[in-house]
Amino acid sequence: MSEAESIGVTADLLVIGFGKGGKTLAATMGREGKKVVMVEQSDQMYGGTCINIGCIPTKALVHRADVRRPGDERQSWYQDAIGAVTDLTTMMRGKNFQMLDTLDTVTVVTGKASFLDSTTVEVAAGDDRLAISAGTIVINTGSVPVIPDIRGLRKSEYMATSTDLLHTEKLPRHLAVIGGGYLGLEFAAMYRQFGSEVSVLEAFPKFVGREDDDVAEVVVGIFRDQGITLITDAKVTEVEDGSADATIYYEVDGRPRTLKADKILVATGRVPAIEGLGLDRAGIRTTEGGAIEVDEHLRTSQPHIYAIGDVNGGPMFTYISLDDYRIVADRLLGDGRRSTADRVAVPHTMFITPPFSTVGLTETAARERGYNVRIAAKPVAQTTATPRARIIGDTRGLIKFVIDADTDLILGAALISIDSQEVINLVAFAMRHDVPAGELGNAIYSHPSTTEGFNELLGTVARVRVAVSTADLENA
């Protein structure tokens, strides 16, 4: 920090935001001997969203909710879980800071960054100001939650974002979730497992509406079996605070309804965090959606300035931010050929129990694009060659593959099952490298595992060289 105490600093690389892509790029360039300055507006966000308020703490809470036994007292279990997750994020935040702070070529500056021009950024920390100039600048400021314009919601003492809930030690009696996307549903499932009553208000006609009906039906069934109240076509009009809870006023088909809750999670999406950056002073263009406009190499309208992670309007996932790093690193250290066009078969997972993972096209989308489609689908409970699900004691779910009947290539998959967050990566890899469904179905997998279910499922529809019978699998 000693260098940052001077009036002005010059660097080879300036990174604004300590997220996954930014911190990895800063460390890489620092090890290459480049002078790097990393600016992060809060010392509670070293390491970025994933470490502090995103993937790591939320998935840790999902795990702790799942292992709560019926006899465990709800409030104390929840409070202990919040404490343990806080300890985990504190440890990881420290390690992330050390990762950069131990590099002699990298300086970490804590404060709010704002462009003065296209090569210089001013960092404000209280009354202190520091000007940093760099030949290459990378914006990695992430995203922030959207709070919808609903009367009484913003000022409600019962309103919370996902970040707020991570620091709330009192378990809600009744959690109302506004928004039925991945985030809202993950939190709904988690808090139901902790013991809260949970209701989810979704403005659209269907939950998981982008998926095929058979897939969505299984996912929704898991939530309903948990005892979660799912309300579709819900238009929330007002939130009114009471002494012990809030009343949520909403309409379904124009008919007024009410719901009481002592905590309201707003899960209606996120937008790129660009406020206060002074992008206009740097000549950096933004899109209509408020993201920083970038090309396939993540360059902004200023070629020496890059935008990576959520702030560029791409898919808001940590692993996309990491791939953004690879693209920019290739521009700075490699041949510059890598681009966002290289991304195919990017998997996604909703961390409910069992997890719900997808990659590629749905059956509906594949048919709309004119593919000659062949489907391999089976409930997990009816799949003989998935003993791991029985070992774990959770045979809920569905495995579905969408296959091009003309080429035997996998167009997409939806896995609702134990271990799907891991198995989906194998499917995505096969898709990226044009591995036929028959080859995936005829591969040798460890036993007992979830992947070996592919032997049975894909062997029934794909063109395989060796016939595999159900009797063989039952005797395995």
Bridging pattern class, strands 270-272 and 143-145: antiparallel
186 among annotated binding-site residues = yes
Q: Looking at residue 384, what is its pLDDT? A: 85
Q: For residue 161, with 0-12 CB atoms within 10 Å meaning exposed, 13-18 middle and 19 or more buried, which class applies?
A: middle
Print pLDDT tens along the chain (476 aa): 334 444 589 999 999 999 999 999 999 999 999 999 999 999 999 999 999 999 999 999 999 999 999 899 999 999 999 999 999 999 999 999 999 999 999 999 999 999 999 999 999 999 999 999 999 999 999 999 999 999 999 999 999 999 999 999 999 999 999 999 999 999 999 999 999 999 999 999 999 999 999 999 999 999 999 999 999 999 999 999 999 999 999 999 999 999 999 999 999 999 999 999 999 999 999 999 999 999 999 999 999 999 999 999 999 999 999 999 999 999 999 999 999 999 999 999 999 999 999 999 999 999 999 999 999 999 999 988 778 999 999 999 999 999 999 999 999 999 999 999 999 999 999 999 999 999 999 999 999 999 999 999 997 544 433 333 334 434 44
141 among annotated binding-site residues = yes
Angle between helices 182-194 and 74-101 in degrees, nearest 10: 130
Q: Is the dihedral of CA 209, 215, 219, 222 positive or negative?
A: positive
* Spatial CA neighbour of 323 closest among 350, 344, 293, 301: 344
- What is the rounded CA–CA span in Å between residue 389 and residue 371? 32
- What is the rounded CA–CA span in Å between residue 318 and residue 54? 9
């195919």: which residue's tokens?
Answer: 344
Q: Looking at residue 25, what is its pLDDT? A: 98
183 among annotated binding-site residues = yes
The DSSP 8-state label assigned to residue 47 in this structure reads T
310 among annotated binding-site residues = yes
Residue type, 314: G
304 included as an active-site residue: no
Would the CATH topology of 3-144+271-342 be identical to that of 159-268?
Answer: yes
Q: Residue 349 CA to chain centroid, in angstroms?
A: 8
43 among annotated binding-site residues = no
Q: How many residues in the chain? A: 476
Helix (H) or strand (E) holding 234: strand 234-241
180 among annotated binding-site residues = yes
Q: Looking at residue 459, what is its pLDDT? A: 74
254 among annotated binding-site residues = no
Does domain 348-474 correspond to CATH entry 3.30.390.30? yes
171 among annotated binding-site residues = no
48 among annotated binding-site residues = no
Each domain of the chain, given as residue ranges in start order, spans 3-144+271-342, 159-268, 348-474
Q: Which CATH number fits domain 159-268: 3.40.710.10, 3.30.465.10, 3.50.50.60, 3.40.50.1820?
A: 3.50.50.60
Beta bridge partners of 229: 199
184 among annotated binding-site residues = yes
Q: Which CATH number fits domain 3-144+271-342: 3.40.50.850, 3.40.50.300, 3.50.50.60, 3.10.129.10?
A: 3.50.50.60
Omega prior to 354 cis, within 30 of 0: yes
Exactly one of 174, 297, 304, 447 is catalytic; which is it?
Answer: 447
Q: Looking at residue 460, what is its pLDDT? A: 55
For residue 436 the two structure tokens come to 């036929």
78 among annotated binding-site residues = no
